[in-house]
Amino acid sequence: MGLKIFLDGKFVNKEDAKVSVFDHGLLYGDGVFEGIRAYNGKIFKLNEHIIRLYESAKTIMLHIHMTKEEMIAKTIETVKINNIKDGYVRLVITRGYGDLGLDPKKCKQATIFIIADTIALYPQKFYEEGLAVITVPTRRNTPEALNPRIKSLNYLNNIMAKIEASNAGAFEAIMLNQEGFVAECTGDNIFIIKNGVIITPPTTAGGLEGVTRDTVMKLAESTGFTVKELLFTRHEIFNADECFLTGTAAEIIPVVKVDSRVIGEGVPGTITKKLMSGYKELVYQ
């Protein structure tokens, strides 16, 4: 059986899952989305993802013509109908079909589609040996322009930073905000560890309030670690004992080098590895 996509109220074959060229999600990046993980046939933190989806939609005044309960049910059904055990769910809401103008009022109803498929993670060696990342010139969007807490389809800010990372031969990039403080990476949140304290930028620095980020913070606190949300610069990263990234797709991935500076001992740190192990146990419970 081929992949089935939930599209505007019904399941269609992958090759038949199409939206109009007049959809404002395509024309203007006008829409919101969530990336969600499934482990052992169960969807991880689905409620939290749905809440964030609807909050993003509310901020951009995008009406979703399904209740949260209906969206949860269809997401679960999409995973089951595709027999996904360990995989990835992409839930997308666009402004819908409109005209060539910007006015969202011309779009009568949102387009909704849900994809459940397998997932390609970072190569396994990076989880074992650690990742080398760089800082890129592209700054994170300011909340006054396009609030990074909105998980919108307009991802060009992240993509530009990703291009800069790729051009430099790096898999991931750190993005700074307009004041020069660390915000997040192109697709992941960032943490550093100094003297046993786990530190991550507050979302007000320009980062997404990641579901995995919040899960790891709670996991760390329950394990007995002190977790703080603090502003910091690259200087603090360079001199950290450990560094790691979190994300729905990445989970927890250690960072051992930033801008050619070796972090700690240059290998995944003890606390990072403990959190990685604890997170694996958590998601499969």
User: Active-site residue among 151, 162, 194, 274?
Assistant: 151
CB 116 within 8 A of CB 78: yes
- The Cα diameter of the chain in Å comes to 57
CB 255 within 8 A of CB 244: yes
CB atoms within 10 A of CB 184: 28
Identify the three-state secondary structure at position 37. strand
| DSSP conformation class of 143 | H
Residues 6 or more apart in contact with residue 13 via CB below 8 angstroms: 2, 3, 4, 5
CB atoms within 10 A of CB 257: 16
Which amino acid type is present at position 250? Answer: A
Reading the block at residue 143, the tokens are: 């909340």
CB 32 within 8 A of CB 152: yes
Which amino acid type is present at position 150? Answer: I
> Is 151 an active-site residue?
yes
Looking at the annotation, which residues are catalytic?
Answer: 151
